[in-house]
Amino acid sequence: MIKNELKWEPLNVCNLQYLTEMMGGKNNLIKGIIETFLQQVPDELNGINTAIEKTDYQTIKSLAHTMKSSVSIMGISLLIPILQEMENLGTNATDIGRVKELSLKLNLICQQAFKEVENAKNNYI
């Protein structure tokens, strides 16, 4: 009897292929970048969350801008339009409601990304 099972697996939000190709497969370099990412980006995310609580548009804009570069290196393309919109709203100092909506998505995707990157780190020894 064929058993049809539907398995739900979350899709990967990171694509480390770009980083691996760029580094020419040098594991020590990739690991170094991953470790820096795992130190830097959670701090930036906390910074954005705090700035949203304080409605500090300038910091929202700056941190969204910096995070865009970091996440693009880890191939987290889902976050680019979110961060771009946050940066634009920060620049125009408008619509904190929309910024909050975007930050929910940002936090969810980031948590998933941190898990993936943490797991991937063990492949580059």
Q: Is 22 in the site for other proteins (CB under 8 A)?
A: yes
What contacts 29, CB < 8 A, 6 or more positions away?
23
Which amino acid, residue 20? T
Q: Is 49 in the site for other proteins (CB under 8 A)?
A: no
Q: Which stretch binds other proteins (CB under 8 A): 5-13, 66-74, 96-104, 108-116?
A: 66-74
Q: Is 37 in the site for other proteins (CB under 8 A)?
A: yes
Q: Is 72 in the site for other proteins (CB under 8 A)?
A: yes
Two tokens, residue 95: 């619509």
Q: Is 70 in the site for other proteins (CB under 8 A)?
A: yes
Residue 43 DSSP symbol? H
